[in-house]
Amino acid sequence: MPQPKPTNPFYVALLPAGILFVVTACAYVVMTMRTLNPHLADEAGLVSVMKQHGVTIMVIELVVLGAFTVAAIASDDFWVRRFQAANQAKRGELP
């Protein structure tokens, strides 16, 4: 039976952060397209929030995505070594 691969928690954190960024980017594009129509330019709700804070929200999300990406790449060897050590201990082997 093949051994499962180790799970890096930063890769797991990247998934919801990436999905949130995609949703925010889509909302920003929708806001941009809706403001082209002068009848819809003064809307409230999500369009208003994206108009006022959209760029800031997207920059913060990009920084979070970048930090998680760097952390995932930098800690990958640590998680692999930890996984291998746990498997060796399970089998009774010495490190």
Which tokens in the block code for residue 34?
Answer: 């809706």
Query: Quick one: pLDDT at residue 13?
Result: 94
Assess whether pLDDT exceeds 80 at residue 14.
yes
* Average confidence score pLDDT of the chain: 85
Nearest to 66 by CA among 23, 14, 7, 8: 14
Determine the Cα–Cα distance for residues 55 and 36; give it in Å rounded to an integer.
18
Please name the residue that has the structure tokens 């998934």.
15
Q: Which two tokens stand for residue 33?
A: 């397209």
Q: What confidence score (pLDDT) does residue 93 get?
A: 60
Structure tokens given for 60: 């913060």
Q: Is the separation of the CB atoms in 87 and 3 below 8 Å?
A: yes
pLDDT at 17: 95
